[in-house]
Structure 1
Amino acid sequence: MLNPVMNNTKWYELRLQMCALVPPPTWSTFSTAGYRSQPDREWFYHFREGGYEDILHVDIQVETPVEREIVRSALKAVHVPGEETPSGFRVFGYLHDGQGAGYI
């Protein structure tokens, strides 16, 4: 069973933080239906297109150590459930029963 750990307000806060970065980091979502979106940098319109209800997680890719620090700081500002990955960060929209997650 999937348990929501983000709400529309938190997704909105995340989106605004990422929109404010120059350049904005690349993201792709993985849906509860098993679909992975194409990588995209456009956070203002594309990220919110279709709503947030089916986002299992969003992967945020970083290209440099400096960008990693900037994105980490932005994510900490909104206190989202997720983890650091080799390519950047993963923010969870849902967790499976028994799955734990820390906060970035």
Structure 2
Amino acid sequence: MNNTKWEELRLGMIGLGTPSPRFRVRNLHSGYVSAWDGEWFHHFYGHHEEDEWVEISVTSAAQHEAVLRVLRSVHVPGVTTETGFKIFGYVPRGTHVEYL
């Protein structure tokens, strides 16, 4: 994904208000997975060239539906997980990716 898509994702999550869903990010090169965070305004701001994926955790069916609406409006590559969603910044070449 490019920085524009990451920014659209960030703004969409901010637009959900409180409580916003929590997220964590995996670095493409080091494999480091960040701690869970819920602060989209400052902590998710910036460049995401090295973000392999961001995982979004939801706490209720209503929050799941609200996040899914944002993801569909932004049209990002990702999957639904047991706890929410995983949005991909990078996938291995030749891998089929769904768009939410």
Which category describes the TM-score, using the shorter chain as reference length?
over 0.9
Write out aligned runs for 1:12-51 (5 A): 12-22=7-17, 23-32=19-28, 33-49=30-46, 51=47
2-structure distance, mates of 1:38, 1:55: 14
Shift of 1:102: 0.4
Displacement over 4 Å in runs of 4+ = none
2-structure distance, mates of 1:46, 1:28: 10
Report the TM-score when normalising by structure 1.
0.90
2-structure distance, mates of 1:86, 1:98: 25
Aligned residue pairs total 98
The gaps in structure 2 that reach 5 residues or longer are none
2-structure distance, mates of 1:10, 1:98: 21
The gaps in structure 1 that reach 5 residues or longer are 1-5
The structure with the largest strand share of the pair is 1
Identical positions, percent: 44
Higher-RCO chain (CA-CA 8 Å, sequence separation at least 6): 1
Report the TM-score when normalising by structure 2.
0.94
The match for 1:86 is 82
2:57 to 38, 61, 67: 61
2-structure distance, mates of 1:42, 1:101: 27
The match for 1:74 is 70
The structure with the largest helix share of the pair is 2
